[in-house]
Chains A and B, each alone.
Chain A
Amino acid sequence: MDNSPNVAAAGAADDPETVEITDSGASLMTDAERRERQIRRVVGVIVAVTVLSLNFEQIQLLTGPNRSVLIQATVTGILIGGVYGLVSMGLTLIYGVLHIINFAQGALMTVGMYSAFSLVSRFGFDPYATVVFTVAFLFVIGAIVQGLLLNRIMKESLEKQLLLTLGLSVFLENVLLLLFSPTPRAVQLPYARGSTSVFGITVEWPFQVFGAVASLPRTIAFFGAMALAGLLFLLLQRTSLGVRIRSVADNPRGAALVGIDVQRTYILVFGLGAACVGAAGALVLPFLSLEPTTGESFNVIAFVVVVLGGMGNVVGAILGGLIIGLTQQIGGIIFTGQSNLLGVFVVFVLVLFLRPNGLLGRAH
């Protein structure tokens, strides 16, 4: 960006008048841009200082005797952030390849949770064994949705596709309400308290870290989500399937020209995106109360994470998930008396305006 004046001057060197105009025009542009960047920085600092000074007492408390509260929030935030990362990875994959904002991501997650719940309560499955089933089930649902519905309106406007997923979300949520009623459900983990031995190291649950508590279900959810996210990343980076998906994301027409079935790749991608929330749903089931609307909050958070990480950026989704997990938990302490989602939305709006391409994305 900073080289552009030189390039413009060199390109028009044989016409001195043009050089001057182009040069001054270009440097004016960069001046304006630089000034704007400075203004942004100043505004950001002012906002941050005001917010923090308003809550100065809370922060003093945190560094003082209540430090364990902060550590607890950090541990909880990171653990749940891993799950946010997995949910968001599905959303960002769908956006990156299909350019669809999938409003049904949360509802699909609830479907995954209820199917896991049914397997546990009816057939006595271990909650974590259901992951295999929910991943396959949600993959099929996602593939059907893309194949039967979305593939036919891929050429329509963004709003049409968004509204279709919205309709799907309303439909799924209320079918679940019809089938399971609004009564909250919960799954108990029989071995949540006890000890585990890994490589000769015995861990007592709930696990103590610097005075903070990490419960077994949350720890499993975090590592499970990270492992699955890693697998998906390897699939995208290291397999021929991944190459196919990435080439369709880059240039669908070019991909079609070299013989890739674009429609089928779309089906696959939506299936994979849905499978992510299938897995996430089964992983969070042991520590969340389940209602037909449980997935909604994950939906909202996943949007924030996806914008934060850069829409379509798979690694950014994991990073963004961790950041938002932390923001939610620590923001809940700093903004006492407010919903812990408020801090998340403040971050959301700031990122939308200041870094719309995400933390890892290049400035536009």
Chain B
Amino acid sequence: MQETLQRRLSGIDVNSRAIILIGLAALFVPQFAAGSNLDVATRIVLFAALSSAWNIMAGYAGLFSFGHAAFFGIGAYATAYLLAVQGISPVVGLVVGAIGGALFGLLLGYLTFRYKLRGAYFVLTTFAFAEMLYLIAMKFSPINGAVGLRVPIRREESWWWMQFAPNSPNYFYLMLIYLLITLVAINMLMRSRTGQYIVAVRDDEDAASALGINPLRSRLIAVAWSGALTAAGGTFYFQYLFFIEPPLAFGPNISVEILLPGVIGGMGTFWGPLVGSGLLIILGELTTSFVRQPPEFLSFLQGRSGLDLALYGALLIGIIMFLPRGVYGTLAHRWEVRRERQVHRAEASSRDGMKEQRDD
């Protein structure tokens, strides 16, 4: 009973039809949203995918990463270097970045497993790795150090060069493809035997390895997938932003931005990061427009920055205090508990019915 509940909560039983439905529905978003609204939608999709990739490690594998900017930056800079310095298509950069992210993940996963870094130590290790890459990137001349790299502007639109006219809906579609691929990959991974192993190792490593599961192997698979998918996000981010610099790629704020949607929506749930990304980015957008034209009594806020992030911080505190499973996680849990109870009651009544029959 507990087992099935757990498994459903971790989203393994999610129907892939829902992913297709989301993809079809999102195709029409550019019809309704244009200009800045399309930008909001694009960022929601991007961060939903990034946070979902983070969720493989933090949610399903129980490896709380506080340094996902490392993977993200590897993807962004692999693409940026190949495109801006070598003139190679971002499609190649995407593949190279994803492989780089996976390899970095394998290194991190192996070292932390080998040296048994758990809990606080694991968190600090991921943080330190991201921070080291950040400091190196700041002074590394082949990628232009702190100055950063720009996308060379082309005359014509092209999918191969991932470049379109400003405000083109194609950027949204690009992110949508990324999100759908990420969701399908997670769905396949977590429904597979390996995915079950990953969750089993998270729940009880000793018991899992007693049953013959190799904890190192399942952990490495989770970290490699998470790293590759996050690095892919770096590529798309660079193409969308036209620009990358070390704070935007490896900065600690990026790590926080990647993990927040998952935490707010619900760690270890399939839909949590998507819900969290929507909530956070829309909230950020509302506060930005609020600060632009505040009401009379709050006029001192006009043009000041910081309100949106201060609200993020307060929201994070509130969620941790009152909805520790996250927004979606709490709802899913309630729904699940109710269903279990109904099943229970139905079973009990049918058993009672049988007993009465037998009594007769």
Interface residues of B, count at CB 8 A: 42
Among A159, A168, A176, A348, chain B packs the most CB atoms within 10 A around the CB of A159
Interface of A, secondary structure class, is helix
Please, how many angstroms separate the alpha-carbon atoms of A156 and B313 in the complex? Answer: 19
Given the interface pairs A167-B313, A341-B135, the reply to whether A156 lies near B124 with Cβ below 8 Å is: no
B240: Cβ under 8 A from any A Cβ: no
CB distance from A4 to the nearest CB of B (A): 19
Q: Which one of B1-9, B152-160, B298-306 is at the interface? A: B298-306
Which single residue of chain A is at the shortest CB-CB distance from B318?
Answer: A167
B120: Cβ under 8 A from any A Cβ: yes
Please, how many angstroms separate the alpha-carbon atoms of A289 and B246 in the complex? Answer: 23
Q: What residues of chain A lie closer than 8 Å to B307, measured between beta carbons?
A: 174, 178
B20: Cβ under 8 A from any A Cβ: no
Contact indicator B123/A162 (Cβ below 8 Å): yes
1/0 per residue, CB under 8 A from B, across A300-324: the answer is 1001100100010000000000000
B143: Cβ under 8 A from any A Cβ: no
Contact indicator B316/A163 (Cβ below 8 Å): yes
Contact indicator A171/B123 (Cβ below 8 Å): no
Q: What residues of chain B lie closer than 8 Å to A173, measured between beta carbons?
A: 306, 309, 313
Given the interface pairs A352-B117, A352-B124, the reply to whether A168 lies near B313 with Cβ below 8 Å is: yes
A191: Cβ under 8 A from any B Cβ: no
Q: What residues of chain A lie closer than 8 Å to B315, measured between beta carbons?
A: 167
Given the interface pairs A101-B123, A300-B131, A345-B132, the reply to whether A177 lies near B320 with Cβ below 8 Å is: no
A158: Cβ under 8 A from any B Cβ: yes
Which single residue of chain B is at the shortest CB-CB distance from A336?
Answer: B139
Contact indicator A174/B309 (Cβ below 8 Å): yes
Please, how many angstroms separate the alpha-carbon atoms of A101 and B64 in the complex? Answer: 13
Contact indicator B305/A352 (Cβ below 8 Å): no
Q: What residues of chain A lie closer than 8 Å to B64, measured between beta carbons?
A: 158-159, 162
Given the interface pairs A170-B256, A178-B301, A341-B135, the reply to whether A348 lies near B317 with Cβ below 8 Å is: no
B164: Cβ under 8 A from any A Cβ: no
The answer, among B115, B127, B139, B256, for a CB contact under 8 Å with A356, is B115
Given the interface pairs A337-B139, A341-B135, the reply to whether A303 lies near B320 with Cβ below 8 Å is: no
Which single residue of chain A is at the shortest CB-CB distance from B320?
Answer: A164
Q: What residues of chain B lie closer than 8 Å to A345, measured between beta carbons?
A: 128, 131-132, 135
Interface residue ranges of A281-302 to B (CB < 8 Å): 292, 296, 300
B310: Cβ under 8 A from any A Cβ: yes
CB distance from A69 to the nearest CB of B (A): 20
A-B contact count (CB 8 A): 126
Given the interface pairs A307-B124, A345-B135, A352-B117, the reply to whether A166 lies near B316 with Cβ below 8 Å is: yes
CB distance from B322 to the nearest CB of A (A): 10
Given the interface pairs A149-B317, A170-B256, A303-B127, the reply to whether A182 lies near B305 with Cβ below 8 Å is: yes
Given the interface pairs A181-B304, A342-B136, A346-B132, the reply to whether A174 lies near B310 with Cβ below 8 Å is: yes
Please, how many angstroms separate the alpha-carbon atoms of A78 and B315 in the complex? Answer: 40
Please, how many angstroms separate the alpha-carbon atoms of A292 and B256 in the complex? Answer: 18
Q: What residues of chain A lie closer than 8 Å to B115, measured between beta carbons?
A: 352-353, 356
Interface residue ranges of B48-102 to A (CB < 8 Å): 58, 64, 66
CB distance from B36 to the nearest CB of A (A): 22
The answer, among A101, A176, A178, A352, for a CB contact under 8 Å with B125, is A352
CB distance from A254 to the nearest CB of B (A): 22
Please, how many angstroms separate the alpha-carbon atoms of A352 and B305 in the complex? Answer: 37
B121: Cβ under 8 A from any A Cβ: yes
Interface residue ranges of A110-134 to B (CB < 8 Å): none
Q: What residues of chain B lie closer than 8 Å to A167, measured between beta carbons?
A: 312-317, 320
Contact indicator A339/B320 (Cβ below 8 Å): no
Contact indicator B139/A338 (Cβ below 8 Å): yes
Please, how many angstroms separate the alpha-carbon atoms of A34 and B300 in the complex? Answer: 66
B129: Cβ under 8 A from any A Cβ: yes
Q: What residues of chain B lie closer than 8 Å to A95, measured between beta carbons?
A: 120
Interface residue ranges of B279-337 to A (CB < 8 Å): 301, 304-310, 312-317, 320-321, 324
18 A-B pairs whose Cβ atoms sit less than 8 Å apart in the complex: A95-B120, A149-B317, A159-B58, A162-B66, A162-B120, A162-B123, A163-B316, A167-B314, A167-B317, A173-B306, A174-B308, A182-B305, A311-B120, A338-B136, A341-B135, A348-B128, A349-B128, A349-B129
Q: 9 smallest A-B Cβ distances: which pairs?
A: A171-B313, A167-B316, A177-B306, A170-B313, A174-B310, A174-B306, A167-B317, A174-B309, A178-B306
Q: A156-B320, A170-B312, A353-B115 are in contact. List 5 more A-B contacts (CB 8 A).
A: A149-B317, A153-B321, A167-B314, A296-B252, A352-B117
